[in-house]
Amino acid sequence: MHQPLFHIDVTSDNADLYQSSLKVIRVLENAGYQAWIVGGFIRNALMGLPAHDADIASAAPWKVSRQLFEEASFTTHETGTKHGTLTVIVDGYPFEVTTFRHDGAYKDARHPECVEFVQSIEQDLARRDFTMNALAYHPDRGVLDLFGGVDDIKAGVIRAVGDPHKRFAEDALRILRGCRFASELGFVVEDTTYNGMIANKGLLSRIAVERVRIELDRLLMGKDAGTALMLYVDVLSVVLPELVAMKGFNQQTPYHCYDVLEHTAHAVDGVAFDLLARWTMLCHDMGKPAAFFVDEKGIGHFYGHAAISVNIARGILERLKVSPTFADQVCLLVKRHDDVIEPTPRAVKRMLTKLGGDTQLFRTLCEVKRGDTSAQAQPYRAARREIIDTLEQTLDEILAKDEAFSLSKLAINGNDVVALGVRQGPFVGQALQATLNAVIDEAIPNEPEALSKYVSAWWHACDKTK
């Protein structure tokens, strides 16, 4: 066994979780079973980052663990007993307690066909993905670092444990996890590990799309998401082949200083840590290569690229089994990301109607426009950002005045329209929409009498054409 290097300085963010993990260890060790905290909790503690959970590895078989924790009045759940994992609830925290194990052969590039339970923490750590995660900690014995994980954390390096080809052939999801860790932690994948990713990336096609989506979501929400997209595009292209056409695609326009992929990456980093905004930025310009042409002056143009990007985005999101509501919102924002919106109440209300009256979606659209602008050529950024800020200020003024920008805000409803003689069916919706448009254009006030007169006149005009 390697000598412990030091003890973890647990930050206040992790103190409660850490104290609860010690209760788990004490239950096991009081019964004579060695136990360690393993994995991401140690990595985050060494980096001074908050941890959301802590895993425990132990020499105790899971059935013994269950009995010990139930005798200690802790709730248990049999969440992965086939692989020796029991979930224990302590102080409201769920802890996965797993028996020391060595994995058998992998036949589906994801799960071992069988596991062999062992008595050695060293054997258990040897099966893990990256050195920064192959760490164990005991409150008395300190950190156990068999593979140089502490030094790799200090250097900001992602390195596979042992042979990268073997690690990734065992579980191809580790390839995406490496890219995601690069995004979340700002680390860089070392060359041998990267080569293993490239050589085995075809195995990602065998991974369930739900697991792929989770990793992509987390990658996009990372602090270095844009850098990860640019550095590891050749790996990510297996699950996002749409990125290939964007890589190195010169936009040939004075408004842009990056190729399409670089622009997209900077745009992703240019928006808040909001999953909707980040997926929108990833997809917003995917249609540019297909729409591209060069005019007689050698300037590149992308007319209609937003509509093409919507089709591409829809395909990605459906393939990844994203919820229909989320997919619809991404596609709507992609469709509208390049729309010119004058910073006037009328123009803002017009856009709100196109967004179904969803004010939060309008704010996300403003954020999308900020991200897009931040990734354009420097001379054009300040003026465009000022307009975007004014759009949000205008929205705030509209809301403060409770002005009408959706059908629900009109002073009349469908029943009122029918009572005025409009035939039931599609004409009712058309009458309401025409009335809303007139209110937005400030042609009539949003008052019942004025709206009723407008509807009657509108229906009379329609009736003449029938």
Confidence of residue 88 (pLDDT cuts 50, 70, 90): very high
Distance CA 391, CA 370 (A): 11
Per-residue pLDDT, 105: 55
| Residue 226 falls inside a structural domain | no
Distance CA 163, CA 129 (A): 10
Per-residue pLDDT, 9: 73
110 with 21, same domain? Answer: yes
| Residue 195 falls inside a structural domain | no
Distance CA 21, CA 311 (A): 48
| Residue 368 falls inside a structural domain | yes
Extended beta strands in 288-382, E state: 293-294, 300-301
Which of 377, 400, 423 is the last residue in one of the domains?
A: 400
| Residue 108 falls inside a structural domain | yes
357 with 424, same domain? Answer: no
120 with 259, same domain? Answer: no
Query: pLDDT at residue 11 above 80?
Result: no
Number of structural domains the chain divides into? 3
Per-residue pLDDT, 360: 97
430 with 298, same domain? Answer: no
- pTM of the predicted structure, to 2 decimals: 0.91
Confidence of residue 108 (pLDDT cuts 50, 70, 90): low
Residue 93 parent element (H or E): strand 93-99
- Model pLDDT for residues 281-338, shown as the tens digit of each residue: 999 999 999 999 999 999 999 999 999 999 999 999 999 999 999 999 999 999 999 9
CATH of the domain at 367: 1.10.3210
Mode of pairing for the β-strands spanning 142-145 and 157-158: unpaired
Query: pLDDT at residue 254 above 90?
Result: no
Query: Looking up tokens 């005798």, which residue turns up?
Result: 71
Per-residue pLDDT, 1: 43
Q: How many CB atoms lie within 10 A of CB 462?
A: 15
| Residue 357 falls inside a structural domain | yes
Structural domain range at position 31: 15-155
Which of 108, 127, 155 is the last residue in one of the domains?
A: 155
**What is the maximum alpha-carbon separation in the chain?**
93
| Residue 304 falls inside a structural domain | yes
Which of 346, 365, 400 is the last residue in one of the domains?
A: 400
| Residue 161 falls inside a structural domain | no
151 with 262, same domain? Answer: no
CATH of the domain at 88: 3.30.460.10
Please give the mean pLDDT across all residues of the chain: 92
Which of 5-14, 48-57, 134-143 is least confident?
Answer: 5-14
* DSSP-H helix ranges across 33-163: 40-47, 62-71, 121-126, 149-155
| Residue 231 falls inside a structural domain | no
Per-residue pLDDT, 90: 96
Per-residue pLDDT, 261: 97
